[in-house]
Structure 1
């Protein structure tokens, strides 16, 4: 049993986003359903940057639909976790100097496939919450080499 959720402020959310490399991008499609795809991303100042190929994400950006990035981490054994959601407009970066600068960032896609577009999501809203580590949530047992628990 937890003592409740902790609501995180923007600074805590940004710190947590810096600690992970994978999140999920979500947007509304033409028919109103949600599309959600995993992306490797990096925080560049207070904006989120990822690469993509032409397709549904770029279509959503060109249609000026807001994007939402969700990232999280959890530890099942300790029953603790956090989740951050950042929503705002996104743009495909077209300035050659900015593209060159973004190429120097340690953005490390897991899949080696052509992703010619850098996308920058500028969060207008960032929210986060954490399930804190709580006392009594973990039990450990030491096994003596003689086979008896201690």
Structure 2
């Protein structure tokens, strides 16, 4: 049936965390006050099972301070082989205290502008999907390219 996802490629929490550890760029998303959704790339690291990233003042920090639900997505795709994976996380985020060990766990941002705040995203829901080699017959209607 169109719209139903093939569960064969679904990943459990441990597999998702393992894949997240293999990349250092993902995307953070949150709903704004006017109902729009903002999505921005970030360099990140895992501290235990939490996602940690740095930020400056602005939208990400405002979303965290206002207690908004935060989504995070990371993936790795190999277009030539039509394979890859995607992991989606939903959780709540907070500013990490200066004494929080997570402050030292963040990855080096590509953007060298100062990012004095460290955000710790606590994973509440984690889901992932692996697209098998050569696409495995998964269609766009099933939610993965």
TM over 0.5: yes
User: Which residue number in structure 1 is paired with residue 13 of structure 2?
Assistant: 10
More helix by share: 2
User: Which residue number in structure 2 is paired with residue 59 of structure 1?
Assistant: 62
What SS does structure 2 have at the residue aligned with 1:11?
Answer: helix
CA distance in 1, matches of 2:31, 2:111: 25
> Radius of gyration: which is bigger?
1
Which 5+ residue runs of structure 1 have no aligned equivalent?
136-150
Tell me the number of residue pairs that the alignment of Structure 1 and Structure 2 aligns: 131
User: Which residue number in structure 2 is paired with residue 110 of structure 1?
Assistant: 110
Work out whether residues 54 and 106 of structure 2, in 8 Å CA contact, stay in contact via their aligned partners in 1. no
Per the TM alignment, residue 105 of structure 1 is displaced from its structure 2 partner at its CA by: 2.5
- Using the size of structure 1 for normalisation, the TM-score is 0.81
Per the TM alignment, residue 107 of structure 1 is displaced from its structure 2 partner at its CA by: 1.2
Work out whether residues 46 and 105 of structure 2, in 8 Å CA contact, stay in contact via their aligned partners in 1. no
Following TM superposition, where does structure 1 have runs of at least 4 consecutive aligned residues deviating by more than 2 angstroms?
101-106
Work out whether residues 5 and 131 of structure 1, in 8 Å CA contact, stay in contact via their aligned partners in 2. no
- Aligned alpha-carbon RMSD (Å): 2.0
CA distance in 2, matches of 1:39, 1:88: 16
More strand by share: 2
Which 5+ residue runs of structure 2 have no aligned equivalent?
1-5, 136-145
Give yes or no for the alignment of 1:92 onto 2:73.
no
